[in-house]
Amino acid sequence: MAVLYEALTVLTFLCLLNCASAIGVNWGIQASHPLPPSTVVQMLKDNGIQKVKLFEADDGIMEALKKSSIQVMVGIPNDLLNGLAGSEKTAEDWVSKNVSKYVNDGVDVRYVAVGNEPFLQTYNGTYLNITYPALQNVQAALIKAGLGNQVKVTIPLNADVYASASGKPSDGDFRSDIHGLMVQIISFLNDNNAPFTVNIYPFISLYNDPNFPLDYAFFKGSASPIVDGSVTYTNVLDANHDTLLSALRKNGFGNLSIIVGEIGWPTDGDMNANIQYARQFNQGLVNHVSSNQGTPLRPGPLDAYLFSLIDEDLKSILPGNFERHWGIFYYDGTPKYQLSLSGANTSATLVGAKGVKYLDRKWCVLKPSVGLDNQNIAASVSYACANADCSSLGYKTSCGDLDAKGNISYAFNSYYQKNDQDQRACDFNNLATVTTENPSTSSCKFNIMIEEFSLATSLRSIRYSCGWVAFIPVLVIFL
């Protein structure tokens, strides 16, 4: 019996280690034509993905995750925080409808993410006074529902909640304007055996600072490492993670577990957002996580969720056109590049979505007879891009090789496909026509839309999209 017990103990430890070190993914649904949830869940299984992070408790998705053995972090949108903060009953109702219901039906919910980066400085303090009370009420509701030990609360926070004045990880501490609040939150998380979740984006560091050392973002060493005492940091993930860990230690909670809630690299919409860089970064990330080496200050398994699973064409592009291109899969579930999610076999490939249904093979393009001096072109292109997705157009993007007419056709086709190839969506004051000849180039794909599948929250997700503001300057590309 003793031998059997020891064997089971070792087996359990190895299983826990494997789950902890396996990469998870973020599954967002801000898409005009999302894939059916059952298709995506099967794709997760086919790729050996054991953990998924959701931004809302969509009923269709949660139903599809039943008895899938996939661990789930379910999110609460920021616009619900005020109600949850002000009413314990509201929190209890939310837990009942979005957690208890599905746990009882066989969904393996492990975490509830209360808000999403609510302390971003760009929010100007909108959620500062309600996030912590919401966290407390959701935790109380989980305990009341008998799920306090099984489901843990957390708050996915942007890495801007902490910093190092010297640039060295050992000098990390929380932002001065929210320091007291952060100490309250980490104390609460510690008391409830809950993790600190942080979103880390090396790409954004490069996007905001062209002088950011590119090799420091990838996991192959750096010509300019950060030397912090006896520790040398050769990649930004380790340095950023340990800056947070130093902040936790400095405030008395150095043993608090850490989850990297979002980390990834986009493939389009910016000169540094491309297939080559995305594959290099994401494979380096997966290899790093799978190695179980951890970081200099915290060796061992690293819990991380890749951002993201599938491209989302309704995401706001105010931060940049790249926002719609974080997926390791295109909108239709097609793999973008070769990626081994196990980290062990670098020749492995991603398994795409199965049984995807497409609309007819036809595209909307500018009529060959229309000249570029036509006075209706500018307004038509602006309208098309405001109501569809032109984020692949621009300097050194995937469609950067198009000429003026190609740019116009791309905009028209994007609108046409988003509107399910409705004939009325290919008119534009008689400037456009439907063709069966594929206008795609070697680097720029003119998409054919997939058949529409309605998610319960897909329409609500439009509230996050205000891309029309950022599309106005795109006219300079066309004219």
Residues noted as catalytic: 117, 262
- Cα distance between residue 478 and residue 474, in whole Å: 7
**Cis bond leading into 414, ω under 30°?**
no
The token pair at 42 is 């099967």
